[in-house]
Amino acid sequence: MTVAAKPEACLTEVEASVERLVYVREDDYTIARMSADDRPGFVAAGRALAGAQPGETLKLAGEWDEHPRHGGRLMVRSCERVAPSTVRAIALYLGSGLVRGIGPRLANAIVGHFGEQTLTIIDTAPERLTEVDNIGAVRQGQIVQAWAEQKEIAGLMVVLQGFGISPLLAAKIYQAFGKDAREVLASDPYRLIGRVKGIAFHTADRIALRSGVPEHSPQRIEAAIADRLEVAAARDGHCYLPLPALVAMVSELIGPEEGLIRRAIDSLVAERRVVVESSPEHPGDSGRLVVYAKELHAREVALASHLDRLRRARSTLPMRGYAEDESLHEDQRAAVNLALTSTVSILTGGPGCGKSHTVRAIATTVRAMGGSVTLTAPTGKAAKRLAELTGMPAMTVHRMLAHRPDPEEGTLFQQTPATADMVVVDEASMLDLHLATRLAAAIPDGSHLLLVGDADQLPSIGPGNVLTDLLRVAEIPRVRLTHVFRQAQDSGIVRTAHRIRAGELPVLPGGGGFWFEELDDPEKVADRVVHLATEAIPRKQGVPREQVQVLCPMRKGATGTAELGRRLQERLNPAREGVAEHWSGPAVFRVGDRVMPIRNNYDKGVFNGEIATVTAVDVQERVVELRTDDGESVSYSFGELDELTHAYAISVHRSQGSEYPFVVAPIVAEAGGVMLRRRLLYTLVTRAKAWVVLVGQREALELAVRRLDRRRNTGLTRRLAAMTEN
């Protein structure tokens, strides 16, 4: 049955101010509490509200309905931003934090002085702001600048709505391009890709086509080629794509004939933006070509070269007074000998096999012989865990490369950490191509590089598969620890992990640290996960809720990180009347939230994977204050919040290098269970120290155990093997 749309004449029009946001969904569906002179405190909802901010005055059109929770509600069909006209609306707008530097008290003072002419004064005679108490020349300049920025963002919102693009992206575009934002949108919207989070090729392409860019223009085809290479690297970890596959992907994306795509690739090669060479599996075969983005090709070549340089260099490690530690297991002693005699080596093994104890023995031996050691790991959590397990100082690879001293202990090493006689990198499976290249380049000839990791865990989030690639090079010495020590044999977590690694289903329902609870419906699985994490486990185990971490195989769906994280936040840290909060897209930041940086920020000294707590949300200055688990204070402006994610429910990938006392995870085959693979399940289980509880479908668990990971397209093994043959 077709339902006729309601005629426009039936729409109710309301002009109202946004008091606060109640809910924002990833598809832009927004619920807001609004206030109009004749109707205070009503609720409006709809995707047309996307981008609405507290303090704005909106002209809404929609229909009223009844909601069981919100009561009378305006379902918004169209939304237009208008300048606030009443004294109350102007004061709310200025005091909402939209204009940085003005809080509620100062807003009331400004409006009290200028009345309904306030916005006109700021626009046309901003020097008069100094007539208001507590506004000097400096603050007056800050207000004028912030006012200009806000007007520009509002204008961008209108432009984006004309393209059918979410206005939520306006502030991000302005932050990336400033006053040039409108020119970028008009002349080369493909520049938005990679610069503005939330804008992928499809969004930029929609703007370009509506701006008159021809469908088969070289500009569009080249942008599509670059996008497919970038997506392959970011989503699948590939360093290259086979030429035929890339051509097919671009054709599927935008539709031009193969000849146009191949000519565009030739043009990008001539401009040195991509590299085409023979396949690593078929070197020298001109009929089997692959395509690299220039940067990834350069880094792969450089990494192979630096590792070969280190491998061939003569050791500077002093060997005086070396004696074998008879307390070690024989394969641990072999690992110590290998690390001392090889300038590049690998130590690998599963849980309970004594990797950390072996690393401690290696470091102790080197120092006893008069040498120096740097212990490092890719993330702050992994470095902290390494320090705890070995009883020795450790730092992140990023800090080692930057040679930043520890804020509490000062400089931990007598020399530049990367120039130590031995550099040990734990959790080496997390090294992507970018970080591994920087690491290898920083180590001088003669120093030893020992990579330590579990090759059966997930590969890095970034492109490349460094540890696995190096293990495929026969000439690189390695030791795999296989002996599971007695104390580890009693752990259900260790037993389960080794069964998963061998492709065997865990013993169900489990015990001794591992438990599987079978439920079929994803919604019920989500309910159970929330209950276990917030109520059942803390109560039964007598531990604070902070010791229970929810890990998710996927981001989307009822059991994904986004939805479960939202539910956990509402249970553990709900909105409170009168307490400041800030919505950044579909995420809301509140004091007390646990958050995690998802990008390294060297200026702030924070790195991907660290955990922090929100200590303040300053609406007036538009910043969120954090305190990391290491005790450091960090500020993020509202425009930088894309660099943070909430840590209530995190992906298994982002949990790498960390351990948690208790882990709860949903295991369901939503959307085909595309992420359910053996390495992911193995990594998930090994993140827990005391208990891991899996909730979900038995068939999803079986799927994860038997499904192997897709191999990443990398050329590092071939490059390094070719060098070692010479």
Would you say 565 is a known binding-site residue? no
371: helix, coil or strand? coil
Output the CA angle 109-111-114, nearest 5 degrees.
Answer: 110
Would you say 353 is a known binding-site residue? yes
Give me the residue label for tokens 């120290």: 689
Instruction: Give the sheet arrangement for strand 448-453, strand by strand.
Output: 395-396, 373-377, 422-425, 448-453, 344-349, 478-481
What does the alpha-carbon distance between residue 430 and residue 108 come to, in Å, rounded to a whole number? 52
CA dihedral 6, 9, 10, 14 (to 10 degrees): 120
Q: Tell me the sheet residues that pair with 618.
A: 623
DSSP state letter for 169 = G
Torsion sign across C-alpha atoms 505, 507, 508, 513: negative
Structure tokens at 608: 């991907």
Exposed (0-12), middle (13-18) or buried (19+): which is 690, by Cβ within 10 Å? middle
CA dihedral 603, 608, 612, 617 (to 10 degrees): 60
Exposed (0-12), middle (13-18) or buried (19+): which is 69, by Cβ within 10 Å? exposed
Would you say 356 is a known binding-site residue? yes
Would you say 350 is a known binding-site residue? no
The answer to whether 105 and 134 have CB atoms below 8 angstroms apart is: no
Q: Is the peptide bond before 189 cis (omega within 30 degrees of 0)?
A: no
> What's 228-246 look like in SS3?
HHHHHHHHHCCCEEEHHHH
What does the alpha-carbon distance between residue 74 and residue 31 come to, in Å, rounded to a whole number? 10
CA-based nearest residue to 618, from 644, 593, 636: 636
What does the alpha-carbon distance between residue 46 and residue 31 come to, in Å, rounded to a whole number? 7
Would you say 103 is a known binding-site residue? no
Residues flagged as binding site for ATP: 352-356
Residues flagged as binding site: 352-356
